[in-house]
Structure 1
Amino acid sequence: MTDLVLPPGYTTRPVQARDIAALHALIQACERQLLGYAESDADEIRAVLGRPGLDPASDTVLVTGPDGTVAAWAWVNRRSDADVHPAHRGRGIGTGLLDWIELRAGAAVISQTVPDGDHAATRLLRSHGWTPMVTSWQLAIAFDEPPAPDAPDGIALRPFQPGDEHDAYTVLEDAFDEWQQRRKSYEEWAMLTVGRDTFDPARSVIATAGGQIVGVLLALDLPGIADGYIERLAVRADHRGRGLAQALLRACFAACHAAGRRSCVVWTHSDTGALGVYERAGMTVRRSSTVYRSP
Structure 2
Amino acid sequence: MTPRAPSGTVSRMPETTQTPATTTGARSLAERAAAPATLPEPDRAATGLTWRALTRADVPVLAALVARVEDADAQPFRTSEVEVGEGFDGDWKDPARDTRVGLDADGVPRAWITVDAPPGDVRVVRVWLGGGVDPAWRGRGIGRALLAWATARARQKLAESGKDAPGRIAAFLEDHRADALALHAAAGFAPIRYFTDMRRDLSRPLPEPRPLDGVRIVPWSPDLDEAVRLAHNEAFADHWGSEPRTAAHWQQGRAMFAPQWSHVAVDEATGEVAGYTLSGRYEHDWAVAGFTSGYTELLGVRRAWRGRGLAPALLTAAMTSFRADGMQYAELDVDTENPSGAHGLYASLGYEVTHGAVMYTIEV
Does TM, scored on the shorter chain, surpass 0.5?
yes
Percent identity of equivalent pairs: 27
Aligned counterpart in structure 2 of residue 241 of structure 1, from 304, 307, 329: 307
Q: Distance in 1 between matches of 2:134 and 2:79?
A: 15
1:133 matched to 2:171? The reply is no
Check 1:205–1:14 CA distance in 2 against 1; reply closer, same or farther (3 A cut): same
Contact 2:277 2:298 in 1 (8 A): yes
Q: Distance in 2 between matches of 1:41 and 1:216?
A: 26
Q: Distance in 2 between matches of 1:8 and 1:231?
A: 38
Question: Cα distance, 1:121 vs. partner?
Answer: 0.4
Q: Distance in 2 between matches of 1:53 and 1:201?
A: 26
Question: Which residue is 1:4 aligned to?
Answer: 42
Question: Which residue is 1:230 aligned to?
Answer: 296
Cα RMSD after superposing both structures: 2.3
Aligned counterpart in structure 1 of residue 141 of structure 2, from 85, 92, 101: 92
Q: Distance in 2 between matches of 1:42 and 1:175?
A: 32
> Residue 66 of structure 1 aligns to a residue in which SS?
coil
Q: Distance in 2 between matches of 1:97 and 1:45?
A: 19
> Residue 326 of structure 2 aligns to a residue in which SS?
coil
Corresponding letter in the other structure for 2:108: T
Question: Cα distance, 1:36 vs. partner?
Answer: 6.0
Aligned counterpart in structure 1 of residue 243 of structure 2, from 168, 182, 188: 182
Question: Cα distance, 1:151 vs. partner?
Answer: 4.5
Q: Distance in 2 between matches of 1:37 and 1:102?
A: 26
Point out where structure 1 has 5 or more consecutive residues left out of the alignment: none
Encode CA deviations 1:42-78: one digit per residue, 9 max, x unaligned: 4544454345643211111112223322212111231
Corresponding letter in the other structure for 1:142: D
Aligned counterpart in structure 2 of residue 201 of structure 1, from 252, 259, 264: 259
Check 1:47–1:136 CA distance in 2 against 1; reply closer, same or farther (3 A cut): farther
Query: Which sits farther off after the overlay, 139-148 or 211-220?
Result: 139-148
Question: Cα distance, 1:217 vs. partner?
Answer: 0.4
Q: Distance in 1 between matches of 2:64 and 2:147?
A: 21
Check 1:291–1:227 CA distance in 2 against 1; reply closer, same or farther (3 A cut): same
Check 1:269–1:49 CA distance in 2 against 1; reply closer, same or farther (3 A cut): farther
Corresponding letter in the other structure for 2:175: D
Question: Which residue is 2:57 aligned to?
Answer: 18
Normalised to the residue count of structure 2, the TM-score between the two structures is 0.74
Check 1:293–1:38 CA distance in 2 against 1; reply closer, same or farther (3 A cut): closer
Q: Distance in 2 between matches of 1:47 and 1:176?
A: 24
Check 1:114–1:53 CA distance in 2 against 1; reply closer, same or farther (3 A cut): same
Query: Which sits farther off after the overlay, 142-151 or 182-191?
Result: 142-151
Check 1:43–1:214 CA distance in 2 against 1; reply closer, same or farther (3 A cut): farther
Aligned counterpart in structure 1 of residue 349 of structure 2, from 273, 278, 281: 281
Contact 1:217 1:232 in 2 (8 A): yes
Normalised to the residue count of structure 1, the TM-score between the two structures is 0.90
Check 1:37–1:292 CA distance in 2 against 1; reply closer, same or farther (3 A cut): closer
Encode CA deviations 1:87-141: one digit per residue, 9 max, x unaligned: 3222221111111112223375411111111110001111222111111221111
1:154 matched to 2:214? The reply is yes
Q: Distance in 2 between matches of 1:64 and 1:203?
A: 41
